[in-house]
Amino acid sequence: MNGSGATQSERIVDVREIAPRIRHTVIHQLFENLQAEQWLQLIVDHDPRRLKRQLEAGFGAHVGWDYLESGPDVWRVRICRGRPA
């Protein structure tokens, strides 16, 4: 891992820089393009629990989700497609 907590197979996206109206669409596209054992780390300005529910509704048990930081100003989560071993 590097200083950001990311591994080499992990992409970091600060979604605070994406227009709110398209954030979830962009994240869904990024998630759908993840390969096995790839992680996507998201940096957001609120608890992304609604996004988690949306991903779980669409992909079921194939969503890996880890909170790395939980507010109050910044949340960081790692997500993967397919539960890691």
- What is the predicted pLDDT for the residue at 65? 94
Give the residue numbers spanning the domain of 64: 10-81
Assigned domain for 3 exists = no
- Tell me if 2 is assigned to some domain: no
pTM of the model: 0.81
Has residue 76 been placed in a domain?
Answer: yes
pLDDT of residue 59: 87
> What are the tens digits of pLDDT across the range 32-42?
999 877 899 99
What digits encode the pLDDT tens for the residues 2-56?
445 555 578 999 999 999 999 999 999 999 999 877 899 999 999 999 999 999 9
**pLDDT at 82 > cutoff 80:** no
* Residue 5 domain-assigned (yes or no): no
Tell me how many domains the chain contains.
1
Distance of alpha carbon 56 from its chain centroid, rounded? 12
In a domain, 4, yes or no: no
CATH number at residue 27: 3.30.110.40
What is the DSSP secondary-structure string of 12-62?
EEEGGGS-GGGHHHHHHHHHHTPPTT-EEEEEESS-THHHHHHHHHHHGGG
